[in-house]
Copies of this chain bind each other. A is one copy, B any other.
């Protein structure tokens, strides 16, 4: 699926990418707080004004491709077989998000940087949580749409909330006590299994 983008769009993506790379490099060297938007723009050789044309806020440069992953999970839910058991579907959708995050952000080291910074930068942590919340709402809506006879809106959001809450909380504690990637992923799986048991 090679996208056939016009020259204009390609240029736009190029400056966007330049901004991301400049930001990541600067964050790693000087620390998030000691990097200004002006510096990022300067390093990417664009106007400071242009930064905010691509990202709503300074934090968003580190959450660049998160939406794609959510879309992936939404698609998984929408395309499920009607007989599929509910918790298994959810587990599958979330597993896919995790796997995708692993692949796409591991190579660039973005995932590691993000988790490291999220632990120490309140503003970034807040933004991340906000994304989780909107993603949750979308997932719940999709789930309820997929099983309108088995789920009401409240139960759907409770279920998704429990799943996401459990996974992120366990992942966070695992990360904070210094676990490696494998252990973290294991913690997430355990959390999912725990919640999955609560639904018939």
Tell me the complex Cα distance, A177–B152, Å.
13
Of the candidates A130, A166, A187, the one having the most CB atoms from chain B within 10 angstroms of its own CB is A166
B residues in contact with A140, CB < 8 Å: 169, 173
- In the complex, which residues of chain B have a beta carbon less than 8 angstroms from the beta carbon of A155? 170, 190, 194
Cross-chain contact B172 with A157 (CB below 8 angstroms):
yes
Q: Mark A150-194, 1 if CB is under 8 A from B, else 0.
A: 000111011111111111111011100100000000010011001
Contact, CB under 8 Å: B191 / A158: yes
A137 within 8 A of B: yes
Determine the chain B residues whose CB is within 8 A of the CB of A80 once the complex forms.
none
A133:B137 contact, CB within 8 angstroms: no
**Complex Cα distance A158/B173, Å?**
9
Identify A129's interface contact among B130, B172, B194, CB under 8 A.
Answer: B130
Nearest B-chain residue to A196, judged by Cβ: B198
Given contacts A126-B126, A129-B126, contact A165 B173 (CB under 8 A): no
Determine which of B126, B130, B172, B194 lies in contact with A162 in the assembled complex, contact meaning CB atoms within 8 Å.
Answer: B194
Interface SS of chain A: helix
Asked if A63 is at the interface (CB within 8 A of a chain B CB), the reply is no
Given contacts A154-B191, A155-B190, A155-B194, contact A169 B160 (CB under 8 A): yes
A154 near B198: Cβ-Cβ < 8 Å = no
B169, A157: Cβ atoms closer than 8 Å: yes
Q: A76 on the interface (CB 8 Å rule)?
A: no
Tell me whether B170 and A157 are in contact (CB under 8 A): yes
Q: A122 interface residue, CB < 8 Å from B?
A: yes
Nearest B residue to A136, CB-CB? B169
A110 at the interface (CB under 8 A from B): no
The answer to whether A125 has its CB under 8 Å from any CB of chain B is yes
**Chain B, residue nearest A177 (CB):** B153
